Amino acid sequence: MRSRSAIALLACLLLALAVVACGGGDDQESAGVELPEGCSEVETPAPKQVNLKEPKPLKPPPEGSTASVETSCGTFEIALDTKGSPKTTASFAYLVDEGVYDGTSFHRVVPGFVIQGGDPKGDGTGGPGYTVDEPPKQNISYTRGTVAMAKTAVEPPGRSGSQFFVVVAADAGLPTDFAVLGEVSDGEEVTERITELGDEAAGETGTPKAPVTIDRITIEDG
């Protein structure tokens, strides 16, 4: 019979997106790490305390809108699924407008799986102060380029705060539990650069070998 600690570790490895139990690690610096071409040397951002209330009503951006994610490794764009995930995209757009993502990091980089960011605290335990629920469609596959919202294993399917992940595997093999934000529509090479900073020694925490910052996210209406 497995011990409780072994079961907990297995849960982290299977879902690998638990916001609290499997968060990022300590502060890092880029010094001594060979960065991929196109990545800048940066320091780990200072934690931010965010405590917002859910806006009502939640109004998604116009159909065809994209989010431009400016990082220390370049810029990639997300085609937002405003039609399929109106509440999720509306909350994301609100957080963008509030500057929640600016000056944060990709605290979790797991090669062959996902890159995860959007935590204002930077350690995998933070959020915006509220959550929204939007059960994902059952026919969703989390394939390369899919952008979805992270949640803990104990939260209901489709719950999201501010943390999001980008799938960098052909198929992440995840259960249909995570609200879909959209798809990477441009700059896939940037997400690949970020993936190169993954550290096998970090295990399921995915703490990157050097900091990768999210400098700013902006949304362009469709």
Count of domains in the chain?
A: 1
State the pLDDT at residue 17. Answer: 52
What confidence score (pLDDT) does residue 7 get? 34
* Tokens (6 digits) for 165: 């992940």
pTM of the model: 0.88
Give the domain range for residue 153: 4-220
The CA distances from residue 118 to 7, 32, 151, in Å, are: 27, 26, 12
Q: Kindly report the CA angle at 137 between 133 and 141, in degrees rounded to 5? A: 115
* pLDDT value at residue 54: 95
- Contact of 81 with 187, CB cutoff 8 Å: no
Residues sharing a CB contact under 8 Å with residue 212, sequence separation 6 or more, in sequence order = 39, 42, 71, 72, 73, 105, 106, 109, 115, 117, 194, 197
- At 82, which CATH number? 2.40.100.10
Ordered mean pLDDT values, 10 residues apiece, the chain (222 residues):
37 43 48 89 96 94 97 98 97 98 98 97 97 92 97 96 98 96 98 95 89 98 85
Angle, alpha carbons 52-48-14 (nearest 5°): 85
Length of the chain: 222
Phi, psi of 167, deg, nearest 5? -75, 125
Spatial CB neighbours of 7, under 8 Å, sequence gap ≥ 6:
none
Q: What is the pLDDT of residue 74?
A: 98
pLDDT for res 41: 96
Q: Which pLDDT value is given to residue 30?
A: 56
Cα(46)–Cα(159) distance, integer angstroms? 26
Residue ranges of E strands in 6-137: 66-71, 74-80, 104-105, 108-110, 114-117, 132-133
